[in-house]
Structure 1
Amino acid sequence: MLIPLLSSCGQTQSSSNGNTPQTLSILHITGKSTPDGAQFQKILHDFETQNHITLNQTIAASDAPQVYETSLLAGKEADIVMVNLADKATNWSKQGSTIDVKDLVKQWGLADQILPAAISEWTQNGKLAAFPYNGFKWPVWYNMDLLKSVGVTKAPTTIDELITDGKKLHSAGKGGFVVGGNDWSGYTLFTQFMESYMTQSDIASAFSKGTFCSNADAMKGINLFIKIRDSDVFVKDVAGLKADQMNSQFYTAGASMMSAGSWAFAGASPELSKNVYLGGLPVPPDSPYTKPTAYQGYSSMGIWISPNGQKHLDQVRKFVQYMFSPKVISVQVSKGMIPTVKNVQVDQKANPLLEQAANHLDERVTYLPPNTYVPGNVQQNLIQATGLAYTKGPGSTQICQALEGAYK
């Protein structure tokens, strides 16, 4: 549901008598009912208390880019926007819809704190689109308790093992691989299978141009996905699921495998977390990658400044510096946040999944590049097009044509 932008945005303007405005408006994607939602609300509340600045929030978990662009046209956009570098947001810096923060990151004392790789990932045409705030690791989760119950003692690392394990789970009446076949989570897993035979330069070319049918390796990956789809690896009715349902099914032991990012660590119970092995997506024998694949990057969330926010940068500065303070960062990292800053002090034992991701995942997987190549005006169409792949029946030609149609 579209959450209307709050009408108080204009209150953040400096008043005629020179008084400092005491209100900031913020648009973000962290729903209050999400695993880290309560914590995020406390962080925002503490900022208000400490700085005597009221934050007027707009929460738009699924359509934040559209909410922002609509409000921008009316001149009522939020001062601060916290979203990921995806979809239409990839065009904001290029179009001047948000301001370049390249100089501000230096002026506000954050240049030496933020990782160079994060700065690089958020730099577009020489502009720093936003303050890189939240990174991610996106592995495949394996519930080893369920796998062991059907005689599987280690997570699969090859396609043959994945299919064999899936059949064992299916025969035993236990859930196999769960994914949101009807949203972005299914899109990401599908593309990860498709990329199994593609070099990183091929991935960049194919997804930026929308050329899949003519790419032999992309077609091999699509056929690989079809093989998995038709081998009882996925849970029942996967084509109709969304990411929230995927998480719930895995959290409640209704599925043995899922592909989910580090933002989902906080939702897993301590008991489940102890039984989860974080690995990668198994690869075929003729893949250019010798290890299972996973994703990592720093584009999970940034802090963008709008034209309205530029009108009172002192208050925005207080918010940005507060969000990057060691205490605030450490609290979030303890719940699974992958920081974009250096030298974070946190007790990784507080979260077994975080400990695995931080200390072991790099050795287990090959990281594919985050797919930021898709044009912003194409991504939602492409997500919808990949839903076809989860429905049994369509072949590789029909699927690749649907993908290319998303670019037209």
Structure 2
Amino acid sequence: MRQKLVLVMVVLMVVVMAACGNSEGISETEGSDGKKQLLLWHYYTGSEDALNSMLDEYNQSQDEVEVVAEYVPFDEMNRQLSVGTAGDTLPDIVISDTVNNASMASMGILSDITSQVEEWGEADQLLEGPLNSAVYQDKYYGLPLTTNSLGLFYNEELLNEAGIEEPPSTWDELEKAAATLTTDDVKGFGLSATRSEESTFQFYPFLYSSGATYEELNSPEAADTFNFMKGLLDEGSMSQDVLNATQDDLTRKFIEGNLAMMINGPWMIDRIAESGEVDFGISQIPKDEEYVSVTGGDNIAVTSNADVDAAWNFLSWLFEPEQNEQFAKDTGYYPTRSDVLNEADYWQNTEHVKQFVPIMENAIPRGPSANWPNVSEAIQIAIQEILTGTKPAEEALEDAATEIEEIEAEE
């Protein structure tokens, strides 16, 4: 309800603003060379050069369509899309965080491209987890442009000194290894439990490994998951600092040698390696019933007022193996095509990077839910209540499940 009230207020404000002026951006215009010009919104900063290089290559490869990029700050993207919907000034193509895809589809911002995807016939080459993040009500409202996931980082020297020959692969092994590795100066295990999307992101694989889902937080499996994490905290294998720790904080402690194992993503590989302080490895997140990770990254979608055929011409080109591989490599993500991930030399042979390849095959999206920010907030509150001992796991999860049920009923 809160999201929808905010949206209504934004729409009313925009209608008034639209009466007084126009947006400078114009989508679907014809360029001086006769090409149909499409406007693409993105929030890339470090990856902007890679995107522009890809657009230049596409624009020079054919004579019908020209795609022009426009930067919109990450924190402004959702608001600007709401503004564009009200004022009929949407771009033609948008790059967005995967967790926002379902919300944009539910608000009518995106075009259903199911027929184009099915006619394309290459959806089966895309990794299942990232692809599912672009699905809303059994229809495709985009494609997964970039992806990454979470794994278990471990300090090889500390494990060797403790007589642990292999990184833990199950919850029981994780509990024992974390206790063995914990000393006065070192905590055996850490993950982010701060009240933000980072904690939902990090707890998600454990929740789903138990057989629970975000829609079944009042299940015995969910309670077992959170009680397991509370046990690591109570036993001293995990620091109380995790309640405020970001993924960046975890990495700093890992590099300093104060954290033996942590949950984190491939974006930290270079930072750890360049520090020269840690010999480390990466493995699957320890499992309860099955190995599970969670996807991050971006989706690319066609908006509701775009020329879908022209936009699809670009998307289908962008998802050819060569482009998918190049863009992933240039941006530091993983390719969303399974054939590229499993065949390209870079991801198969680069140290540490290759250790995430099998993890990517087990990664699932958060949600998808049209109300994900509110769903995630309910999970974050439960995490904090359980780990601080404010509420027993069963009570906190029952409250979260009730809140999520009410949130989802508003869709």
Question: Normalising by structure 2, what TM-score?
Answer: 0.73
Cα deviation digits, residues 112-158 of structure 1 (max 9, x gap): 78438465664433421102333444322222233334443321234
Query: CA contact under 8 A between 1:273 and 1:353: conserved in structure 2?
Result: no
Residues 184/147 of structure 1: CA separation in 2 closer, same or farther (3 Å cut): farther
| Structure 2 partner of 1:230 | 234
The list of structure 1 runs, each at least 4 consecutive aligned residues, that deviate by more than 6 angstroms after superposition, is none
> For the structure 1 residues 122 and 24, does the alpha-carbon distance in structure 2 shift closer, same or farther, using more than 3 Å as the test?
closer
Give CA-to-partner distance per residue, 1:270-294, whole Å, 9 cap, x none.
65796213122253xxxxx2x6x32
Q: Once the two structures are superposed, what CA deviation does each residue of 1:133-191 show, in whole Å capped at 9, x if it has no partner?
A: 33444322222233334443321234444334333443140243232212223223334
Match of 2:73 in 1: 59
Inter-partner Cα distance in structure 2 for 1:125 and 1:295:
23
Query: 1:76 is matched with which residue?
Result: 89
Question: Is 1:42 the counterpart of 2:49 in the alignment?
Answer: yes
User: Alignment partner of 1:384: what SS?
Assistant: helix
Paired position in structure 2 for 1:355: 354
Does residue 259 in structure 1 map to residue 259 in structure 2? no
What's 2:315 paired with?
A: 320
Larger helix proportion of the pair = 2
Gaps of 5+ in 2: 1-21, 60-65, 407-411
How many residue pairs are counted as aligned between the two chains? 369
Match of 1:132 among 144, 147, 150: 144
Kindly tell me: are residues 356 and 131 of structure 1, through their superposed partners in 2, closer, same or farther at Cα, counting changes over 3 Å? same
8 Å contact kept, 2:253–2:259:
yes
Tell me if 1:384 matches 2:380. yes
- CA–CA distance in structure 2, aligned partners of residues 369 and 48 of structure 1: 29
Q: Secondary structure at the match of 1:301?
A: strand
State the distance in 2 between where 1:267 and 1:332 align.
21
Deviation of residue 227 (structure 1)? 1.0
Pairs within 5 Å for 1:237-248: 237-248=241-252
**1:180 corresponds to:** 192
Counterpart secondary structure, 1:246: helix
Q: 1:275 aligns with which of 272, 280, 284?
A: 280
Matches within 5 A, 1:61-210: 64-86=77-99, 88-105=100-117, 111=122, 114-115=125-126, 117=128, 122-182=134-194, 183-198=196-211, 203-204=212-213, 207-208=214-215
Change (3 A) 1:70 1:393: farther
**Contact 1:140/1:294, CA 8 A, preserved across alignment:** no
Correspondences of 1:299-318 after superposition (within 5 Å): 300-308=297-305, 310-311=306-307, 314=310, 316-317=311-312
CA shift at 1:46, angstroms? 1.2
SS at match of 2:182: helix
1:246/1:258 contact within 8 Å kept: yes
1:24 aligned counterpart, secondary structure: strand
Which residue is equivalent to 1:339? 336
Maintained 8 Å contact 1:162/1:282: no
CA distance in 2, matches of 1:375, 1:53: 28
Q: What is the root-mean-square deviation in Å for CA atoms of aligned residues?
A: 3.8
State the Cα distance separating 1:238 from its structure 2 match.
Answer: 1.1
- Cα deviation for residue 82 of structure 1 reads 1.9
For 1:4, the equivalent position in structure 2 comes to none
Gaps of 5+ in 1: 1-6, 284-288
Instruction: Tell me, yes or no, if the aligned pair for 2:147 and 2:333 is still in contact at 8 Å.
Output: no
* 8 Å CA contact 1:265, 1:336 repeated in 2: no
SS of structure 2 residue aligned to 1:276? strand
Percent of aligned positions that are identical: 14
Cα drift, residue 99 of structure 1: 0.2
Deviations 1:219-244 (A, max 9, x none): 23332222122122224511112233
Q: Which amino acid aligns with 1:303?
A: I
2:324 alignment partner, one of 323, 326, 329: 329
Are residues 16 and 260 of structure 1, via their aligned partners in 2, closer, same or farther at CA, if it must alter by over 3 Å? closer
CA shift at 1:98, angstroms?
0.2
Aligned equivalents of 2:338 and 2:207: distance in 1?
A: 32
Aligned counterpart, 2:26? 11
Partner of 2:10: none
Indicate how the Cα distance of structure 1 residues 232 and 265 shifts in structure 2: closer, same or farther if over 3 A, else same: same
Q: What residue identity is the alignment partner of 1:246?
A: L
Tell me how far apart the structure 2 counterparts of residues 14 and 311 of structure 1 sit (CA, whole Å): 11
Q: Which amino acid aligns with 2:197?
A: W
Provide the secondary structure at the position in 1 that maps to 2:89.
Answer: coil
Please give the alpha-carbon distance, in whole angstroms, between the structure 2 residues aligned to 1:373 and 1:22: 31
Pair 1:246–1:72, CA change in 2 (3 A): farther
CA contact (8 A) 1:193 1:221 kept: yes
- Change in Cα spacing, 1:56 to 1:22, as seen in structure 2 (3 Å) is same
SS in 1 for 2:292: strand
TM-score normalised by length of structure 1? 0.74
Counterpart CA distance in 2 for 1:112 and 1:218 is 32
2: CA distance, partners of 1:110 / 1:46: 27
SS in 2 for 1:342: helix
- Distance between the aligned counterparts of 1:75 and 1:254, measured in 2? 53
CA distance in structure 2 between the partners assigned to 1:195 and 1:132 by the alignment: 21
Q: What is the CA–CA distance in structure 2 between the aligned matches of 1:361 and 1:126, rounded to whole Å?
A: 25
Q: C-alpha separation between the residues in 1 aligned to 2:31 and 2:151? A: 53
Question: 2:95·2:301 contact (CA, 8 Å) conserved in 1?
Answer: yes
Supply the distance in 2 between the matched residues of 1:387 and 1:296 (Cα, whole angstroms).
Answer: 17
Mapped to 2, the partners of 1:353 and 1:274 lie a distance apart of: 11
Matches of 1:368 and 1:342 in 2, distance apart? 16
Q: d(CA) in 2 for partners of 1:70 and 1:387?
A: 34
